[in-house]
Structure 1
Amino acid sequence: MTEYFLQAFIYLTAAVIAVPLAKKLGLGSVLGYLIAGVVIGPIIGLVGSETNTIQHFAEFGVVMMLFLVGLELEPKMLWAMRNRLLGLGGLQVLGSVSAVLACAIYAGYGFSTALTIGLIFSLSSTAIVLQTLSEKRLNKTSAGKNAFSVLLFQDIAVIPMLAFIPLLALPELVEKAQGAMAVANEQHDSLSLVANMPGWAYAIVLLLAIGVVVLGGHYLSRPLFKMVADSGVKEISTAAALMLVIGIAALMSLVGISPALGTFLAGVVLANSEFKHELEANIGPFKGLLLGLFFITVGAGIDFTVLFANFAEIILMTLGVMLIKGIVLYLLALIFRIKGSDRWLFTLSLAQAGEFGFVLLNFSVQQHVLPTAMAQTLSIVVALSMFLTPGLFILFDKVISPRFQNKTNQRTQDDIEEVGSVIIAGIGRFGQIVNRLLISNGIKTVVLDHQASQIDSIRRINTKAYYGDATRPDLLKMAGVAEASLFVVAIDNRESSVELVKYLTHTYPKLKIAARAFDRGHGHLLRAAGADIVEFETYHSALEVGAESLQLLGYSDASVARRKATYQRIEKEASKRLYENWLSESGGKSFSNDFIKLFLQYEERLKQAMDEDTDENELKLPESFDANNEAIDKV
């Protein structure tokens, strides 16, 4: 028991020290985990033989990550991205396999071995790429969306690869390992529902397992989580979420399917569930910790003995694989018209091998397709390519991205000639209304926007505006922020708006700040950052449409006015209480179970208030509704 405590302490200490340092140096958390693994493994030797065992456990972090990815998707979204999923993803796998196959055959490997190597190296690291894109807030860019499509196809493609690889078994390896593998197969079969099944029976079991996940997720998850939520015990809610993911992963393993793909499918099924946010909140911390542990084991598992014995060969093979994949990805980016810096981001982000490469390598050895010595060498190539990936992101950030920004942004920052008592950052549809109202009342404003076309457009209607990035301190000083009374934040970027409010609050504490929020979560972040006034961009217009809709449905003007006032009163109170709950329960990071319960309580309170305001004499449907009902009756 003491040994397990010491190992856990070593891994956690390495992560706690290395990751903050790596983040501070701009290297990213993934590289921090990898460096931590190298230090405690090959360099210091604090961990050793247990690394491979821990890595199998830590791979469950990938399973959880794909479950959370699935929660963010909906079947309609998957159908909408089918062209990129099948076209871009399919061509990437096919192109990478073909290119690596040709190079391996040229290097003297047999066809079966070369094809297996091609399959292994065609996959990229879902864990590293999605984690890094998310940290750098690049997952919503064109490159991020296309990279996600490719990674999703690769994860799905692992299943047919696992089915196909046994057909490539080498007779000499089968004969050499026949005796030893007999015992291993017996142990493996005891934990499999599909061992020695004929093809037709395996297909039926496969379909049944997928059907259990889909139908169970759709019909059984709701009563289960409702029962758990009614219990009011937080740890049981967490246990239920873990039970769901682990159970699905176990079922998929028993029928020979990738656990990651099974949990991803379950996530998609539950994407429309009202318990979606609760699942995310419960699974998120475990996912992050296990993913970090996985990256540490990758670094700790690098065998420097094998590396130094074949140093030149392994380094050339690693760089060669990344170059080949990079060329294939760049050509596909051209074909699919991925433009500008997104083309390079797409290429560099997917040029590595991935964690499923370790799975295919182990499986290939078990199925007598690759010799053990070759698998050890290839596993180092996979690990090194993953280790180099954060460096490629740094190359993109420091070298490639600035060059494209300079090309697309030739216009220099305007010199601000006049200052006013109010500074407005962002002159889009929201900022324009604020600016017009203030100007019409004789208040001088300074308008800033980073979109040149927007500035030119607004100047045509005799509105003075200046081109520049409102998040830059030098521009703010030039605009007279130190003397301003009010700052209106109306920029379109969520993260930038929150960071701007934080900067203004800290640097100019006497400055009043009014900010535009996209939704409730964004509004909470702005309030926590220090904004004095936070308004949702669609709140008032949506409220007016709702009120006018009630009038069209036959409610009297007096009734609509009362109901509108009731809604505003309850919403104001709810907004304050929900913000306080959000801040205290989750530290401003997510929507907790208590937050959701409180929200539902206010929804019920709103409904009760509306029911109490009912006046049967006031509700008279318009003639058009009566005509429609008569038409329906005739049919």
Structure 2
Amino acid sequence: MAGELSSPMLSDALVILGAAGIVIPVFTRFRITPVIGFILIGLLVGPFGLGKLVYNYPLLEHVTITDPEALEPFAEFGIILLLFTIGLELSFKRLWTMRKLVFGLGALELIIIGGMLAIFLSMLGQYWTGALGLGLALALSSTAIVLPIAGTTSPVGRAALSMLLFEDIAIVPIIFMLGAMAPYAQNEGWEGLLDTLWLGGLVVVALLVLGRLALPRLFAQAARTKSPELFLAASLLVVIGSSLATAAVGLSPIVGALIAGLLIAETEYHGEVESIMEPFKGLALGVFLITVGMSIDITTIWDNFGPIALAVVLVLTFKALVTGLLLRMMGARRSTATETGILMASPSETTLIVLAAASSALLIQPGTAQFWQIVTAIGLTITPVLARLGRIVARKVEPAPELPPEDRGTPRVIIVGAGRVGRLVAQMLTVHGKPYVAIDSDADLIETAKREGYRAAFGDAARGHALRNLGIENALAIILTMDEPVLAQRLTSKLRKAYPDLPIIARARDTRHAAELYRSGASHAVPETLESSLQLSEAVLVDLGVAMGPVIASIHEKRDEFRIKIQQDAKLEVKPKLRTSNVGAAG
């Protein structure tokens, strides 16, 4: 009996793991996001794909999803892990600085788009309560797909994050409001909303207090055991416990997951937690995308191709225009507003939740709900295509910076990052008469740097055209100064493949990160923790009366000793010290 019960579950697990093993390598090879691959796999193995043929061909049962509904908890868990890792990338300080964007831009985007869509749908004959539910549902955008594409540090990522955070917060009031507007509802919905808000507030405060007190001790104990399994268990305990706590009082579990991530981000263990959770988040997110693909019925789409295609085009175009205009009104650059608007145009996975709530409240008919569910699934599927289209249009609207033709042939150092570290490097290069140009995707940093006299240009170094426009093919060296470990590692690997002889000097968070940068191809990786220790040693030795010459010599020896050790830890051939003759030749 146990074997019979577990057989469908094992079959589904085999399909999912097989999909992950096939989709990710194949789509990565062709530089296509795996998001599309997972959705297509869901379409293929779901009830509207090969699942239709199981009755005639029983063997297909082993390569199809036999119980799509059984995957929904895993899909929800994937979204929870995604919000948890987003919290890890943020901090309370950064979230506080974003409050105007979250509750200003985010609220405006949802209210204006949702309201205008509701007016349009009511003009088409939909009753106003159902039109409002549909408008708010379609105004939402996909956290699960948009943020992995845009990140959280670029101007596009920050703008998208602020709107998505507000949408995630607003989802609970929206669902309660729909319930209160149901034909059979009286005041229970509004009373339930008030109860949820004050109970949710108490739970959030309790999580913040307990997290501040307990999490550092919990992860310190896990770290002392030096057991990755225990560290993973502690991480899952925190995220699941926080999610269950907020879900128990009626809030969305993703609110608890985000709070858990923010709390751990304040500890010194956030880097380890982020790295250990990454594979689980990716796999669980893949399950969610497979469930999206399984909801697409090709037959229904074909039978209603005209109305569905028109609805998809109108919704995407309207959302892109309104979002872009709002961003421009709030001071965003044309390229940022354009790219963010197009990226945020598609509906969300939470759109499906709101549609289900509106349908169960009898605000819309089941057929209407199914129509917009298909529109939503198609929108989610083409989100990566929208991201690529947004980048192309943004480049047309506001081209990347180019040096004058006479400057492009001049050898110079390219500094990626115009923040505190980048500006200090620029100062030292200027002192010694070495030409440079700094690049950063933060328009405010670039304006500040230019105002202070630095040679700087706006652009995203992760995109090859921005560096090519700055003349990277003739660069003396490139210096990565941003405090973004994953981005630094990816950019190092990309640059090393494209420019094998280019000296790449990268800022590392610690010795472990430095080893990863060396494995990715860095010529030199400078750990912040090591350099601060060496500077402290230099200061105390000089204060104790040791001559400056021997102190500096010993500091250099110790630095070389650590560099060799890090390279050995990275299992690389120990490299000689970076030659400075080329840099010096630029005079």
TM range (shorter): 0.7 to 0.9
Output one character per residue of 1:449-476: Cα deviation in whole Å (capped at 9) or x when no partner: 587999xx999xxxxxxxx989669978
- Bigger CA radius of gyration: 1
Using the alignment, how far apart are the partners of 1:198 and 1:407 within structure 2?
A: 51
Match 2:9 to one of 4, 8, 31: 4
- The answer to whether the aligner puts 1:353 opposite 2:342 as a matched pair is no
How far off its partner does 1:518 sit? 5.6
Residue 490 of structure 1: SS of its match in structure 2? strand
State the match for 2:85 in structure 1.
68
In the TM superposition, 1:33-112 aligns within 5 A as 33-41=38-46, 42-45=48-51, 46-47=63-64, 50-112=67-129
Q: 1:93 to 1:546 in 2, by over 3 A?
A: farther
How far off its partner does 1:31 sit? 1.7
Residue 85 of structure 2: SS of its match in structure 1? helix
Residue 114 of structure 1: SS of its match in structure 2? helix
Q: 1:225 to 1:567 in 2, by over 3 A?
A: farther
State the match for 2:293 in structure 1.
299
- The answer to whether the aligner puts 1:392 opposite 2:421 as a matched pair is no
Using the alignment, how far apart are the partners of 1:88 and 1:547 within structure 2?
A: 48
- The answer to whether the aligner puts 1:377 opposite 2:371 as a matched pair is yes
State the match for 2:507 in structure 1.
517
- The answer to whether the aligner puts 1:333 opposite 2:327 as a matched pair is yes
How far off its partner does 1:76 sit? 1.9
Output one character per residue of 1:204-257: Cα deviation in whole Å (capped at 9) or x when no partner: 533332233222211122222223333333212211211221122222222111
Residue 264 of structure 1: SS of its match in structure 2? helix
Q: 1:6 to 1:497 in 2, by over 3 A?
A: closer
Using the alignment, how far apart are the partners of 2:532 and 2:194 within structure 1?
A: 58
State the match for 1:623 in structure 2.
none
Tell which deviates more after alignment, 263-272 or 11-20: 11-20
- The answer to whether the aligner puts 1:426 opposite 2:414 as a matched pair is yes
In the TM superposition, 1:592-603 aligns within 5 A as none
- Contact persistence 1:425–1:448 (CA under 8 A): yes
Match 2:131 to one of 107, 114, 117: 114
Tell which deviates more after alignment, 573-582 or 41-50: 573-582
Using the alignment, how far apart are the partners of 1:244 and 1:59 within structure 2?
A: 17
Q: 1:224 to 1:567 in 2, by over 3 A?
A: farther
- Contact persistence 2:8–2:66 (CA under 8 A): no
Residue 59 of structure 1: SS of its match in structure 2? helix
How far off its partner does 1:18 sit? 3.0
How far off its partner does 1:380 sit? 1.1
Residue 370 of structure 1: SS of its match in structure 2? coil
C-alpha RMSD of the superposition: 4.0
- The answer to whether the aligner puts 1:315 opposite 2:309 as a matched pair is yes
Match 1:412 to one of 405, 410, 425: 405
Q: 1:372 to 1:531 in 2, by over 3 A?
A: closer
In the TM superposition, 1:486-525 aligns within 5 A as 488-490=477-479, 494=488, 496-505=491-500, 513=503, 515-517=505-507, 519-520=509-510, 523-525=514-516
State the match for 2:164 in structure 1.
151
Residue 141 of structure 1 aligns with an amino acid whose one-letter code is S
* TM-score, normalised relative to structure 1: 0.71
State the match for 1:273 in structure 2.
267
What percent identity do the matched residue pairs reach?
26
- Contact persistence 2:343–2:390 (CA under 8 A): no
- Contact persistence 1:424–1:431 (CA under 8 A): no
Specify every segment of 5 or more residues in structure 1 that has no aligned partner in the other structure, as ranges. 176-193, 418-422, 440-444, 460-467, 482-486, 585-635
How far off its partner does 1:197 sit? 8.4
State the match for 1:599 in structure 2.
none
In the TM superposition, 1:79-228 aligns within 5 A as 79-134=96-151, 139-171=152-184, 202-228=196-222
Aligned residues: 522
- The answer to whether the aligner puts 1:283 opposite 2:277 as a matched pair is yes
Residue 259 of structure 2: SS of its match in structure 1? helix
- Contact persistence 1:14–1:37 (CA under 8 A): no
Q: 1:528 to 1:50 in 2, by over 3 A?
A: same
State the match for 2:337 in structure 1.
343
Residue 557 of structure 1: SS of its match in structure 2? coil
Using the alignment, how far apart are the partners of 2:492 and 2:193 within structure 1?
A: 57
Q: 1:473 to 1:17 in 2, by over 3 A?
A: farther
Using the alignment, how far apart are the partners of 1:275 and 1:472 within structure 2?
A: 37
How far off its partner does 1:108 sit? 0.3
Q: 1:541 to 1:29 in 2, by over 3 A?
A: same
Tell which deviates more after alignment, 427-436 or 268-277: 427-436
How far off its partner does 1:259 sit? 0.4
- Contact persistence 2:328–2:334 (CA under 8 A): no
Match 2:33 to one of 25, 28, 31: 28
How far off its partner does 1:348 sit? 0.6
Residue 352 of structure 2 aligns with an amino acid whose one-letter code is F
State the match for 2:237 in structure 1.
243
Residue 546 of structure 2: SS of its match in structure 1? helix
Residue 169 of structure 1: SS of its match in structure 2? coil
How far off its partner does 1:120 sit? 0.8
Using the alignment, how far apart are the partners of 2:479 and 2:270 within structure 1?
A: 30
- Contact persistence 2:243–2:253 (CA under 8 A): yes
How far off its partner does 1:195 sit? 11
Using the alignment, how far apart are the partners of 1:152 and 1:251 within structure 2?
A: 19
State the match for 2:255 in structure 1.
261
Using the alignment, how far apart are the partners of 1:536 and 1:270 within structure 2?
A: 22
Specify every segment of 5 or more residues in structure 2 that has no aligned partner in the other structure, as ranges. 1-5, 52-62, 416-422, 440-445, 456-463, 483-487, 573-587
How far off its partner does 1:54 sit? 0.8
Residue 40 of structure 2 aligns with an amino acid whose one-letter code is I
Residue 257 of structure 1: SS of its match in structure 2? coil
How far off its partner does 1:341 sit? 1.6
- Contact persistence 2:429–2:436 (CA under 8 A): no
Q: 1:271 to 1:560 in 2, by over 3 A?
A: farther
Using the alignment, how far apart are the partners of 1:251 and 1:360 within structure 2?
A: 22
